[in-house]
Amino acid sequence: MQTMAFLAQKGGGGKTTLAVHTAVAAVEAGEAVVVIDTDPQKSATVWSDIRPQEAPFVATAAAADLGRVLDAAKQERMTLAIVDTAPHAAPDAGRIARAVDLVVIPVRPSAFDIAAVGSAVDIVRAAGVQAVFVLSACPFRSREIAETRAVLAEYGLPVAPVEIVDRRAFARAVATGRAVTEFEGDGKAAGEIRALWAWLKEQMEQKEVVL
């Protein structure tokens, strides 16, 4: 079973949005997926409660119980576990990072988000885990996107080639318990999420740890 966590030390970066949408894209690609919601706000769990489809399964758990939940997922023959984390929870963030194959750090192209990147990088380096950046909730055709890419490159971690643009389709899909690939399957948002999932899958399959 492959495992990844969406982690950031600042709220509003799109962790839950990316987690649930990536999970659905993975299900559509043939994966058996569980989303493990460790965020006290339980946004992924709320999304699951109104979702008409059963997959992906969403489990609510404390970070301290993550190992047990991952073991249970393996026994249920899940092929992918995606962990949604809480912001501003450094001890739990470190525990989660050590438990997964890949940490995905969403970054909005804004000064506040960029300023918080260092804390997330410190956590993944201390955990010795492979990590990548994803540009999330990007304004359409903003010059800040290229500027943010340049800043992130200095950390020496891979940056996803696809940017997730801040589109209304995301909010509309989530409001109905769906993902954009289901809500507007031929739309630009769906294409971005599918491309992101394909890239993240490739990253998990790499054996070298990039730190």
Q: Is residue 210 part of a domain?
A: no
Q: Is residue 211 part of a domain?
A: no
Q: Which amino acid is at 124?
A: V
Q: Is residue 149 part of a domain?
A: yes
Q: Which residues contact 204 (CB under 8 A, 6 or more apart)?
A: 2, 4, 101, 102, 130
- pLDDT above 50 (res 150): yes
- pLDDT above 60 (res 156): yes
pTM to 2 decimals?
0.94
**Domain enclosing residue 52, as ranges:** 2-204
Look at residue 122 and give its three-state secondary structure: helix
Q: Is residue 209 part of a domain?
A: no
Residue 195 burial class via C-beta count within 10 angstroms: exposed 0-12, middle 13-18, buried 19 and up: middle
Q: Which amino acid is at 72?
A: A
pLDDT tens for 44-100 read 999 999 999 999 999 999 999 999 999 999 999 999 999 999 887 668 999 999 999
Residue 131 has a pLDDT of 97
CATH number of the domain to which 29 belongs: 3.40.50.300
Residue 208 has a pLDDT of 45
Find the mean pLDDT for residues 130-159: 94
CB 92 within 8 A of CB 86: yes
Q: Is residue 164 part of a domain?
A: yes
CA angle 173-177-178, nearest 5°?
Answer: 50
Residue 89 has a pLDDT of 64
Whole-angstrom distance, CA of residue 67 vs CA of residue 74: 11
Question: Residue 141 — very low, low, confident or very high, per pLDDT cuts 50/70/90?
Answer: confident
Residue 9 has a pLDDT of 79
Looking at the 3D structure of the chain, how many domains does it have?
1
Residue 140 has a pLDDT of 86
- pLDDT above 80 (res 12): no
Q: What is the mean pLDDT of the chain?
A: 93
- pLDDT above 80 (res 192): yes
- pLDDT above 80 (res 10): no
- pLDDT above 60 (res 210): no
pLDDT tens for 169-181 read 999 999 999 999 9
Percentage of the chain modeled with pLDDT above 90? 88
